[in-house]
Amino acid sequence: MERNKSFELADCAAPQHVQILNQEIKYRGGIFDIRDDRIEFKSGDVVQRQYMKHDDAVAIVPLRHNGTNWEILLIRQYRHAPRRIFWEIPAGLRDIAGEESLLCAKRELEEETGLAAQDWRKLVSFYTSPGCSDENLEIYVAIDPVPSENKSGFTAEAEEREIVSQWFEIGDIRDAILTSRLQSPTLVLGVLAVDSLLSRGIDTLEKVTQ
């Protein structure tokens, strides 16, 4: 461990931090590849690292005020790996070539909830599991969404066919997170970030357009 150094409080790209001695693709899939790299650190340590080369993604916190309290629209969806049905915020992969993240967020909100919004704010971004994946996920806030008039022709299948949505007061969601009743990582981060944002004032985040 490096000690007695002063570093900026910010993550940074480090593409040359290690020397890649060998790379193999163990599996190719529609969403991710599994790669196996043999790498060497400056110390001379040589190790093997397996990871997913994964499509990036977006998520959306649909937010409205009911006259008394702030509410967030959640969706309920089955996830096969943990064999659980989760309450989540709308989300999806950036798997259309050339599509900017905000446009992807607008598309995913419409496809999963049938809603559209005029007021969008960029909330946070994070790497979903940096120990084993390079997937980066950006979370947006969609304020006062309304039924979309756009007819995209999207047809839901499999898990997405079963999606249901429901508005919940943010305090109830926060309490469910802090008692481990809600465990979707994107929901946890998005809701707690919005909760913090609202304590500062929604307009501390600038509107984004595209």
Helix (H) or strand (E) holding 113: helix 101-113
Find the angle CA(16)-CA(12)-CA(140) to the nearest 5 degrees.
130
The catalytic residue among 99, 111, 160, 169 is 160
Query: Which tokens is 167 given?
Result: 């508005």
Helix axes 170-178, 185-200, angle to 10 degrees: 130
Q: Which tokens sit at 129?
A: 């599991």
Do the Cβ atoms of 144 and 66 come closer than 8 Å? Answer: no
- 40 part of the active site: no
CB 154 within 8 A of CB 24: no
75: left (phi over 0), alpha (psi -120 to 50) or beta: beta
Tell me the C-alpha distance between 107 and 114, whole Å.
10
Residues identified as active-site: 160
